[in-house]
Structure 1
Amino acid sequence: MAREQQTAEEMALEVKRLTELLVAAGRKDLLLRAIGVPLVEELRIEAARGRLSRLLITADYRFILTDYNNIEVELQPVHKAVYLLFLRHPEGIEFKHLRDYRQELMELYAKTARWMDREKIGESVDKLVDPLDNAINEKCSRIKKVFLNLMDEYRASYYIISGHTQKHIGGRVWYERLKLITLPRELIIVEGK
């Protein structure tokens, strides 16, 4: 059958057959060379994506991974507020522009820490949005650690707040160093919405 007449499914079966032959011959090195390391990495990420859990955010701000036996992602209120802020902004946020999100972060923190003094919340948020303070990096590192304790790094990469760089060209080149959560939004369930 001519290649242009093969369907994608038929090509996949042919790749599978050839892969099995190379593996049986003990030539994984040739298979890796043929596929290429970057594609292997993409395939590992795609495989992880198929095993992602829905993230339920309850009315009392508990984070539950419903497809992983309802495991709770245990975060402090400040971490929950930061996480919720980045979930609300799938386009990403640059840390140096966090001050623009101060009020929103204040509101989220007040909701996740209802018993906490408003003044203390304000002090914490001021540290988070201060571009000269490392507080936001510390909070993101803690969130990452919690997810890495619950799952492998490829699945965790969808749940953590991670970097993404956009390059803009328009007379000059500049970069946006956005931070975002790449978890597909259809996997996020907010109780009461």
Structure 2
Amino acid sequence: MNDKLSISYHTAKKILLELLENNDFSTDEDVLKILGSIIPPKDTNVITCEKEEMSRIVIDKNGRIFLPSYSSMEVKMPYLPKTVFIFFLIHKEGIEFKSMYNYIQELYEIYQIVALEKNTEASKIRRSLENLVEPVNNRIYETCSIIRRSFSMVIPELLMEFYCITGKRGEKHQIRIDSSLIEIENEKLKEMFNLRHNH
């Protein structure tokens, strides 16, 4: 058991931080007991509040999605769900799924931005989008599930509803996060966003 003496404080701290970042110890009784003895009870509320603090949504120049308050990692999802997510972020007023075919050109433009590094044929993108907006199938609901799954990796459960596309079937769907928390660095996407929000 003398092995721990050979690990420097810096190395031990690094290992501990990595363990805490990559594992959920919230139900481990031994860990909670030690944490409870280090952190005074009055501070536990502060920790909970910080955990449930709203993060900005940052769409970078390449259309990648980041939630900096929760993780430094990109929130990865396939091109189509990412296109739909950014589309609803731009249309904060909400859109009915059945009327999405009216926005197929806008969806196409967003898709081209997020799929920048992949040279996808225009006709293939069109087919994919037409299938998405076709009112008779459930593709849009499947796409929203993929978005939710991607975000569930980084967003606290209590705040999921603010970041995902929500709404009742047959009514407008929207992303409820406040516009002040949306930061778009891609010029074309920023232009589309501002066009909707500055009138």
Q: TM-score range with shorter-chain normalisation? A: 0.5 to 0.7
Structure number with higher strand proportion: 1
Give the match for residue 105 of structure 2. Answer: 103
Alignment of 1:1-193 (within 5 A): 51-114=53-116, 115-163=119-167, 177-192=171-186, 193=190
User: SS of 2:53's equivalent?
Assistant: coil
CA distance in 1, matches of 2:59, 2:156: 21
CA distance in 1, matches of 2:138, 2:54: 30
The amino acid of 2:126's aligned partner reads G
Alpha-carbon contact 2:70-2:154 (below 8 Å) kept:
no
Alpha-carbon contact 2:67-2:75 (below 8 Å) kept:
yes
Aligned residues: CA RMSD:
2.0
Q: Identical aligned pairs, as a percentage?
A: 35
Give the match for residue 168 of structure 1. Answer: none
CA distance in 2, matches of 1:51, 1:154: 10
CA distance in 1, matches of 2:57, 2:184: 8
Cα distance change, pair 142–48 in 1 and its aligned pair in 2 (3 A): farther
CA distance in 2, matches of 1:86, 1:147: 15
User: SS of 1:189's equivalent?
Assistant: strand
CA distance in 2, matches of 1:49, 1:82: 27
Alpha-carbon contact 2:52-2:159 (below 8 Å) kept:
no
Q: Is 56-65 or 146-155 further displaced after alignment?
A: 146-155
Runs of 4+ in 1 over 4 A off after TM superposition: 47-50
User: SS of 1:125's equivalent?
Assistant: helix
Please report how far the alpha carbon of residue 56 of structure 1 lies from its aligned counterpart in structure 2 after TM superposition: 0.8
Alpha-carbon contact 1:48-1:155 (below 8 Å) kept:
no
Query: Which gives a bigger RCO, structure 1 or 2 (Cα 8 Å, sep 6+)?
Result: 2
CA distance in 2, matches of 1:151, 1:164: 22
The amino acid of 1:109's aligned partner reads Y
Please report how far the alpha carbon of residue 153 of structure 1 lies from its aligned counterpart in structure 2 after TM superposition: 2.2
Alpha-carbon contact 2:58-2:185 (below 8 Å) kept:
yes
TM-score by length of 2: 0.64
The amino acid of 1:178's aligned partner reads K
TM-score by length of 1: 0.66
